[in-house]
Structure 1
Amino acid sequence: MKKIAIVSSFSDSCGNAYFTKILMESMINSGVQVECMSLNLLLTQSINNSVRKKADKHIDDICRRLKDYDGVNIQFEAGLYGTMPADIIKRVYKLVSANPNTSVTLHSPRLVNDSASQREAIKQVLKLRLKTAVNMYLSELRRNVSTRINVKVIKYLVKNNINVIVHTLRAKEQIEMFFNYTNIHVHPLKIVDDNHKTSPEIFERIKDEYNISEQDKIIGMFGFVNEYKGHSLAIQTLSCLPSNYKLMIFGRQHPQTIKNNEIVNHYIHSLQVSISKNKTVQNRVFFMGEYDNEDFINLAASVDYVWLPYVENGQDGSGIASICMDVSKRVLCSSSFAFDELFRLIPEYNNYARFDIGNYMELASKTLHFMPNKVSRISERKYTLQSQADLYIELSTK
């Protein structure tokens, strides 16, 4: 029996860890032995010099263990491997070189900087809005750091002819264009099996507990409460809808954003302020907290609408979007590139409508008058949990 190792943040509460667990289960069901080399984020993300040395030793220990496997897959999100760019690059190089049969999954392989943001920052300077311009510049600088890390990592993968897995055709095309490299394989994130049976039981219990009537329409938002997911826009949109429309936010603050002695996360606080100042949405927004994976899927399948009002942040794949597109009745998603790319690969989805990023009026009207996109074509390839597992097994044991 083939023995494969996956390097990931398996034991931490994050999207990467969740995806890794799903991937491992499907690979094991395909008849291979799979083990996770779990990254210790307390070590790898520290900027303390003595802890960074321990993190390097932690990576060296993983590398030694990887030599004993028939194949290896490395789940690459830069922040899992360090905080300082030099640490990230050094550690990934070591891991990639530890076993000759290695594949690397690039979850956010941004290679092109956002020129539109740069132009807008210049406009703000010309209008003497210096604070806004500085904030935009610093935000763009942080994104540029991620881009430079991606470029260095991908150059190393190309040099060593490593099997690369990405989630979108756009990512594949960019890597091919910039690096003249074709050993790239595309598979969208898949979380839910095609034969998965959902249950309304948990949703019915919630409706009873929260006194939700039969006339009420429940809108769900799912996943960690991060700014790019558009909760503030959702609250603004809710004020444009009839009072029987209610918003339930299923998720928690991302553990990586929890800070010592911070009374309340600044983004969650801003949402609370928005709700308290807007009488039309008071008692219509519910922070539901975190649910286990099975309940999460069942809730996504049970609510009347799912909102995905994401802003553009360079992300290629979304596990939340994958789940909702596969099980939800009505999904309203923004015009971000991540969704464009998902529908390029899986054009047969017929349960969604799109709206422009930030356009709360469009989101409100399309919620009231939901008209799903028509299926324009059927994809040549079927993407499933099984096809995902097969790809990882093939590329990790070549």
Structure 2
Amino acid sequence: MVQTGDDAVAKKLLIVSSYHRACGIAQYVEALEGPLRLQADCEVEIVPLPVDIFRAQSNYARKAAKQQLAEIIKLVRSADVVNLQLEPGLFGLTPFSIWRRIGAIIDASKRVIITYHTVPQMEGERVSLNPRGLWHFLRSWRGNFVFDRLFKKVRNNPQKFRHIVQTSREARNFALIGLSTETIFHQPLSFLSRQERNVIDESRIKMEVSERYNIEGKKFLGCFGFLNEYKGIEVAVRAMKYLPEDYHLLIVGGLHPEGILRHTIDQPYIKKLMNEIEFTDEEEISSSNLIERVHFCGALGNREFNEVMLACDAIILPYAEVGQTSSGPAAMALDLARPIYCSRNQCFKELDRYQPGMLAFFEVGNHVELAEKIRRSDGTGKERVAARGAYLERYNVESRAALYLLAFENLAR
């Protein structure tokens, strides 16, 4: 609080983020909002980014984007500290428009906390002369274009900034590229508050979910999040062929709005999953028709998403290695104390460092190993249960909110 005569004037934290839309970052900010307001002595305001307008390319959209940015800048100037939830794609389509908007927000801010949902890759993306390889290279180049300019601003005025990353690895890497360690904070993602967890009725929810999908008395496995090539859901589908018939797989999520091909009903990743489910080789080990054991639940709202995850006996995260720094579904599964089977990629190895032993790993793409570990209940052993409990005591949305307020006080004093 700042004293002005006899009046106490609260300082203001402004969060600039996607908000109330189908987006993992929006969901994260919505989860953070309640605990942040409860703990804060400052005023907390959230300004939603007009993501669709920022990414559109028509002349009308550019004019609207300019107007929207001006309104955001006006709010930014009034705040003591601005928190930028940084995922470059939220701010536009081209690196030039992305940086123009991010740079304008930073220039208008008195102090800035940057939450990094994407970080620059220490290993450069190699050029591969195929459509997918070129797309990844261009995406990497776009990110580097933005981060090079961002870090130049940071180095010119380091005390204006505080940085929040999702793993200790990112914190170390930021220090290696010249950011002051005292300005870097790290903690894994979290979504559910203690109050939300305490009112959960697991037995009732599991019964309701089993009735909803007509799978009473079965074992549920779940894959969660946007349907995307790197999520590796086909690995979970293949593993189902090596599991007993009472195992069912719930696939929760839809195509990312920005990943839907226009003017066609043929969506490549959906088609790939359909081929995995419908294809039957008589010589292949298969318990029964996968059509009856794999269930597409669609894109669910936050509450129903959480309920289906809670009802699952285990969560499967068979991701590819794409340089990802965090996983919303993994964080939510830990909030709900669910057993997790995940690919042994860098993202999940870093997450496991916060509480070794809480995750059950299998090699990227190895559906046979995944099925074997599920059969022997590798994710539900006493040591893993204890590790997940210890993790949740230390890392939760309340401690995440406290981290923001620590960074805020660090800057606003």
TM-score, normalised by the number of residues in structure 1: 0.88
Counterparts in 2 of 1:259-338, with a 5 A limit?
A: 259-278=261-280, 280-338=289-347
Q: More displaced, 41-50 or 233-242? A: 41-50
Counterparts in 2 of 1:156-235, with a 5 A limit?
A: 156-161=153-158, 162-182=161-181, 183-194=183-194, 196-197=197-198, 198-200=200-202, 201-214=204-217, 216-235=218-237
SS of the residue aligned with 1:340? helix
Structure 1: tracts of 5 or more residues without a match:
122-130
Structure 2: distance between partners of 1:339 and 1:312: 10
Amino acid corresponding to residue 217 of structure 1 in structure 2:
K
Structure 1: distance between partners of 2:44 and 2:309: 29
CA apart distance, 1:363: 0.5
Structure 2: distance between partners of 1:82 and 1:176: 28
CA apart distance, 1:317: 1.5
| Pairing 1:87–2:97 present | yes
Structure 2: tracts of 5 or more residues without a match:
1-9, 281-287
SS of the residue aligned with 2:296? strand
Structure 2: distance between partners of 1:114 and 1:12: 32
Q: More displaced, 288-297 or 335-344? A: 288-297
CA apart distance, 1:389: 1.1
User: Hey, what does 2:85 align to over in structure 1?
Assistant: 75
| Pairing 1:63–2:70 present | no
Q: More displaced, 100-109 or 251-260? A: 251-260
Structure 1: distance between partners of 2:208 and 2:45: 37
Give a deviation string over 1:116-137, Cα, whole Å, max 9, x none.
Answer: x66xx5xxxxxxxxx7x56435
TM-score, normalised by the number of residues in structure 2: 0.85
Q: More displaced, 77-86 or 87-96? A: 87-96
Of 131, 139, 143, 1:142 maps to 139
User: 1:361/1:175 Cα in 2 relative to 1: closer, same or farther (>3 Å)?
Assistant: same
CA apart distance, 1:30: 1.1
Structure 2: distance between partners of 1:180 and 1:73: 18
Give a deviation string over 1:141-184, Cα, whole Å, max 9, x none.
Answer: 43333233223323323323211111111111111112253221
Q: More displaced, 17-26 or 139-148? A: 139-148
CA apart distance, 1:194: 4.1
Structure 1: distance between partners of 2:151 and 2:86: 11
Structure 1: distance between partners of 2:179 and 2:252: 42
Query: Contact 1:300/1:328 (CA < 8 Å) preserved in 2?
Result: no
User: Hey, what does 2:5 align to over in structure 1?
Assistant: none
User: Hey, what does 2:400 align to over in structure 1?
Assistant: 388
| Pairing 1:355–2:358 present | no
Counterparts in 2 of 1:100-119, with a 5 A limit?
A: 100-113=110-123
User: 1:222/1:138 Cα in 2 relative to 1: closer, same or farther (>3 Å)?
Assistant: closer
Query: Contact 1:225/1:251 (CA < 8 Å) preserved in 2?
Result: yes
Amino acid corresponding to residue 163 of structure 1 in structure 2:
R
User: 1:229/1:69 Cα in 2 relative to 1: closer, same or farther (>3 Å)?
Assistant: same
Structure 1: distance between partners of 2:373 and 2:400: 33
User: Hey, what does 2:148 align to over in structure 1?
Assistant: 151
User: Hey, what does 1:128 align to over in structure 2?
Assistant: none
SS of the residue aligned with 2:290? coil
Give a deviation string over 1:302-323, Cα, whole Å, max 9, x none.
Answer: 2111101111111112121111
User: Hey, what does 1:126 align to over in structure 2?
Assistant: none
- Aligned length in residues: 381
CA RMSD of aligned residues (A): 2.4
